[in-house]
């Protein structure tokens, strides 16, 4: 599956996934890349971290040593889990890649852990794709998920508006639920 970049406008629903912020195409598999471009992606390099995206502006650009900044979700390299910021919510960080790295993919031929144990680089989590900056009315938050923590986008205004619309009965019910859960 190819994840296409979204336009630069803020999301229009109350909650969206972090992939709604992605600004470059993302390829889940080598077959997705081949279907899109009619050619095999470059052979995977086990000495580089997996990277399922590329910046079309840097395809074929000769590396001149200059680094390119990208805003992305903070991901722990060994677990692949989003890293919370001081407020407990997911955070965005700036990563720097060479132009050559920015313009290329490194998609493993199968699962991310198919490389031998003596290839420690490929055992690290893939490089997360770049995202657009959050608009002032957006914030990231952890959602409900299984083993992997889900990152959602929430509009601040809608979250605040819904809190203001709670009745006394709603608050009493929430207190009862919290007491039952021991929170």
What is the pLDDT confidence band of residue 20, given thresholds at 50, 70 and 90?
confident
pLDDT at 111 exceeding the cut of 70: no
**22 or 12: whose pLDDT is higher?**
22
* pLDDT for the residue 34: 93
d(CA 74, CA 130): 11
pLDDT at 112 exceeding the cut of 50: no
- % of the chain residues with pLDDT over 70: 77
**23 or 183: whose pLDDT is higher?**
23
d(CA 27, CA 175): 45
pLDDT at 115 exceeding the cut of 70: no
Q: Are 6 and 22 in contact (CB under 8 A)?
A: yes
This prediction's pTM:
0.73
The kind and range of the H/E element at 43 are none
Residues in Cβ contact with 139 at an 8 Å cutoff, skipping those fewer than 6 apart: 89, 153, 154, 156
- % of the chain residues with pLDDT over 90: 31
Q: Label residue 182 left, alpha or beta by phi (over 0 means left) and psi (-120 to 50 means alpha).
A: left
What is the pLDDT confidence band of residue 24, given thresholds at 50, 70 and 90?
very high
What is the pLDDT confidence band of residue 9, given thresholds at 50, 70 and 90?
low
On average, the pLDDT of the chain sits at 81
């Amino acid at each position: 599956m190819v994840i296409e970049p979204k336009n630069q406008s803020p999301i229009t629903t109350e909650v969206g996934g972090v992939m709604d912020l992605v600004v470059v195409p993302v390829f889940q598999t080598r077959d997705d890349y081949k279907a899109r471009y009619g050619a095999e992606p470059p052979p995977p390099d086990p000495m580089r971290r997996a990277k399922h995206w590329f910046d079309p502006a840097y395809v074929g650009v000769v590396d001149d040593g200059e680094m390119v900044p990208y805003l992305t979700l903070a991901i722990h390299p060994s677990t692949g889990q989003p890293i919370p910021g001081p407020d407990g919510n997911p955070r965005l960080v700036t990563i720097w890649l060479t132009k050559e790295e920015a313009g290329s993919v490194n998609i493993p031929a199968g699962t991310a852990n198919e490389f031998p144990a003596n290839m420690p680089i490929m055992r690290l989590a893939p490089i997360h794709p770049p995202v657009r900056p959050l608009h002032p009315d957006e914030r990231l938050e952890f959602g409900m998920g299984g083993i992997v923590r889900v990152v959602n986008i929430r509009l601040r205004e809608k979250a605040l508006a819904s809190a203001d619309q709670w009745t006394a009965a709603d608050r009493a019910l929430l207190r009862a639920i919290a007491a039952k859960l021991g929170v």
